[in-house]
Amino acid sequence: MGTLTTLTDEAKIALDTLADRTTALVSPSLRLGVTGLSRAGKTVFITALVHNLIHGGRLPLFEAQKSGRIAKAYLEEQPDDAVPRFQYEDHLKALIEDRIWPDSTRAISELRLTIEYESASMWNRMFSGGKLSVDIVDYPGEWLLDLPLLNKSFAEFSKDSFELARLENRHELASEWLAEADSVSPDAQADEITAQRLARSFTGYLKAGKADERALSTLPPGRFLMPGDLDGSPALTFAPLPNLGTGKHRAGSLAAMMERRYEAYKTHVVKPFFREHIARLDRQIVLVDAMQAMNAGTSAIADLERALTEILSCFRPGSTNFLTGLVQRRISRILIAATKADHLHHESHDRLQAIVRRLVDRAVSRADFSGANVDVLAMAAVRTTREATVTQGKEILPVIVGTPLKGETIDGERFDGKTETAIFPGDLPLKPDSIFEEPESVSEDPAIRFVRFRPPSLEKTAEGFTLSLPHIRLDRALQFLIGDRLA
């Protein structure tokens, strides 16, 4: 990862780390990064995590909570004034009162959750105030996919983009942009209208790849999909060009203009994102919606594997000691979480976990994760279904029961968003490698029935108290990510 930064970048990172560590001597804190590609459930994960900790949710595998050592958890003012606050209250209202899914992550945001606890160690109780602030940093995984661009020239970026666009599962989506690109000469005079036209058609191709039926993952530059306040700026008005040589482009040419804007994008957008946010993380969770990719077919699965490999290569994993930790930050724990486990019967959860582990195997083997603890987990931050069985002839089938979102369909039946329905979701393959294999025939009855469900109506106790958001293995995720800091 060091090749993505200059000595100047490293000096700035060291100064930021030293400032953070100095503050942490008085007020201990941990920075937790939450990322994933769109619709993986980042917003829901953070909202459920905070709600369960503040309201004492059912977290039997989270040791500090189980043993009664957490006195209270509450929100505080975040330390970074220039970063938007994660709108926890709005997202919670959407989930609990409106029973709709909150808006997806469109930009970076932050939230500080402070936990007051009693250490399990008498020694620690003597020297620690029993207080930890968890700074949760929420950011789109699409932005992470930009970091490898720091090692690529404009010519390399263009070559890679055209190679991807001409793949069988992308060529149709990219046809308009490819035609536009083939109609221009890189050596032609720079022209703003041409640049805008190319950027617009290139962005259209990237957006089409995000549609549910395609579920593509590797679609950099990330800000083209989520521009934020950069929308319409020259830094986002560029596109790959064909037939670029390795030499210097003629001054005033279209290629020179595009290359300058590409480099500006890296300098003013990508580098600050890495330096100010990614390089300051202590722990990281990567949320993966593998089922949507499986629904879309083997090409989407291969694309998801490619994206996860690039995402994991962007982190700085490892461990530090007291002295090196003052100026050097490493991510000591990385959790890869397969989301939406509630869309499957629990008998398939181990298979979902094995599939995601297979998806990240190559990334973990390629990247240097020495000193970092990496785990894979199947979970649902908010459980939308319950399990039951139905009898079909002589066969007893395990089903899930929930309220599908309005407009979802199975076998031609269209759901109204109000009716609770029992669904047999099917079984995931026993062998993880089989998800990369093309089926021998196209079956009218898919192996997996995947529909999206509404958030649940919260249960109440006999005394009338509303329980916290239900989940699957959120407690195990918490134990892995922060449990050691509350020991």
pLDDT tens for residues 344-403? 999 899 999 999 999 988 777 766 666 788 999 999 999 999 999 888 888 888 899 999
| pLDDT tens digits along 280-319 | 999 999 999 998 888 888 888 888 888 888 888 888 776 6
Other C-beta atoms closer than 10 Å to the C-beta of 392 total 9
Is pLDDT at 168 greater than 70 in this prediction?
Answer: yes
CA 72 – CA 350 distance, rounded (Å): 33
Domain boundaries, the chain: 2-139+277-382+472-486, 149-272
Read off the tokens for 379.
């979970």
> How far apart are the C-alpha atoms of 285 and 427, rounded to whole Å?
26
Please give the helix or strand (H or E) that residue 276 lies within, else none: helix 271-276
* pLDDT, tens digit (0-9, with 9 covering 90-100), for 73-124: 999 999 999 999 999 999 999 999 999 999 887 889 999 999 999 987 766 6
pLDDT greater at residue 325 or residue 198? 198
Query: How is residue 222 annotated by DSSP?
Result: G
Give me the residue label for tokens 């106790």.
Answer: 461
CATH number 3.40.50.300 is the correct assignment for the domain at 2-139+277-382+472-486: yes
pTM: 0.87
Predicted confidence at residue 362, as pLDDT, reads 75
What local confidence, expressed as pLDDT, does residue 288 receive? 93
CA dist 221 and 227 (Å) reads: 10
Tens-place pLDDT, residues 179-196: 999 999 999 999 999 999
Spatial contact of 446 and 426, defined as CB atoms under 8 Å apart: yes
The answer for residues whose C-beta is within 8 angstroms of residue 110's C-beta and 6 or more apart is 78, 80, 83, 84, 85, 86, 135, 136, 137, 138
Nearest CA among 225, 185, 190 for reference residue 208: 225
Query: Using H for helix, E for strand and C for coil, what is the string for 191-220?
Result: CHHHHHHHHHHHHHHHHHHCCCCCCCCCCC
Give the residue among 338, 345, 342, 351 at the shortest CA–CA distance from 432.
Answer: 351
